[in-house]
Chains A and B, each alone.
Chain A
Amino acid sequence: MPTSFRLFLDAALARTYPRVAWLFRSRTWVIQETVLPVLGVAAFAYSYRAMDAPAEYTGLVVLGAAMTTFWMNVLWGMGAQLYWERDSGNLELYVMSPAPMMGILTGMALGGMTTTVVRAAAITTTGVLMFDVPLRPSSWWELGVVFGLTLTALYGLGMVFASVFLLWGREAWHLVNLFQEPVYLLTGTNFPVSAIFPKAVAAAACLIPLTAGMDAMRQILFHTPGIFGVYEEMALLAGLSVVFLVAARHLLRYLERRAKEQGKLTVRWQ
Chain B
Amino acid sequence: MTDHLRTLRLATWLGWQLETNWASPWLFALYMFVKPVCGSLMLVCMFYAARYATGGRVPAEFLPYLYISNACFGLVGTVMFGLSYAVVRDREHYRMLKYIYISPAHFQTYFLGRGLARATEGTVGGILNVAAGLVLFSDMRAAVGGDGISWTWLAVFLAIGSAMLWACGMILAGACLNMSRNGMFLSEGISGLVYLLSGVVFPLAVLPEWVQGVSRALPTTYWLEGMRRALMGPIPADAPMLRGPLADWSNGELAAALAVTTAGLVAAAQLVWRWSERRAWRLGKLEENAGV
Contact = CB atoms under 8 A, between A and B. Distances in A.
Nearest to B23: A171
Interface stretch (B53-61, B253-261, B265-273, B278-286): B53-61
16 contacts: A32-B189, A36-B186, A36-B192, A41-B192, A46-B196, A50-B62, A51-B54, A88-B292, A181-B34, A184-B38, A185-B39, A185-B41, A191-B49, A195-B52, A196-B52, A269-B94
Given A51-B54, A52-B54, A196-B49, A36 B36 contact: no
Contacts of B241: 50-52
Given A47-B201, A178-B34, A185-B41, A42 B196 contact: yes
B64 interface: no
A47 B46 contact: yes
A51 B190 contact: no
A185 B38 contact: yes
A87 B292 contact: yes
Contacts of A87: 93, 292
B196 A43 contact: yes
Nearest to A38: B192
B42 A185 contact: yes
A36 B93 contact: no
A50 B47 CA distance: 11
Interface in A168-209: 169-171, 173-174, 177-178, 180-182, 184-185, 188-192, 195-196
Nearest to B28: A174
B193 interface: yes
> Interface centre among A35, A50, A180, A191, by most B CB within 10 Å?
A50
A98 B241 CA distance: 64
A32 B48 CA distance: 32
A94 interface: no
A46 B54 contact: no
Contacts of B190: 36
A141 B249 CA distance: 54
B53 A53 contact: yes
A54 interface: yes
Contacts, number: 137
B193 A32 contact: no
B72 interface: no
A2 interface: no
A172 B201 CA distance: 31
Contact of B202 (A47, A54, A181): A47
Contacts of B41: 185
- Chain B at the A interface: mostly helix, strand, loop or mixed? helix
> Interface centre among B51, B57, B182, B241, by most A CB within 10 Å?
B182
Contacts of A50: 62, 202-203, 206, 241
Contacts of A97: none
A3 interface: no
Contacts of B188: 36
A89 B95 CA distance: 14
B23 A191 contact: no
The 8 nearest A-B residue pairs measured at CB: A40-B192, A36-B189, A181-B38, A50-B202, A51-B50, A53-B50, A191-B49, A47-B201
Contacts of A195: 49, 52-53
Contacts of A161: none
B192 A48 contact: no
A27 to B, nearest CB: 11
Nearest to B58: A51
A166 to B, nearest CB: 17
B168 interface: no
Interface in B1-39: 22-23, 31, 34-36, 38-39
B221 to A, nearest CB: 13
Contact of B179 (A28, A182, A188, A269): A28
Interface string B84-106: 00000000011000000000000
A139 interface: no
A170 B192 CA distance: 26
A192 B49 CA distance: 7
Contacts of B193: 36, 39-40
B93 A49 contact: no
A26 interface: yes
Given A42-B196, A50-B203, A182-B34, A57 B50 contact: yes
B49 A53 contact: yes
A155 interface: no
A84 interface: yes
B142 interface: no
Contacts of A196: 45, 48-49, 52
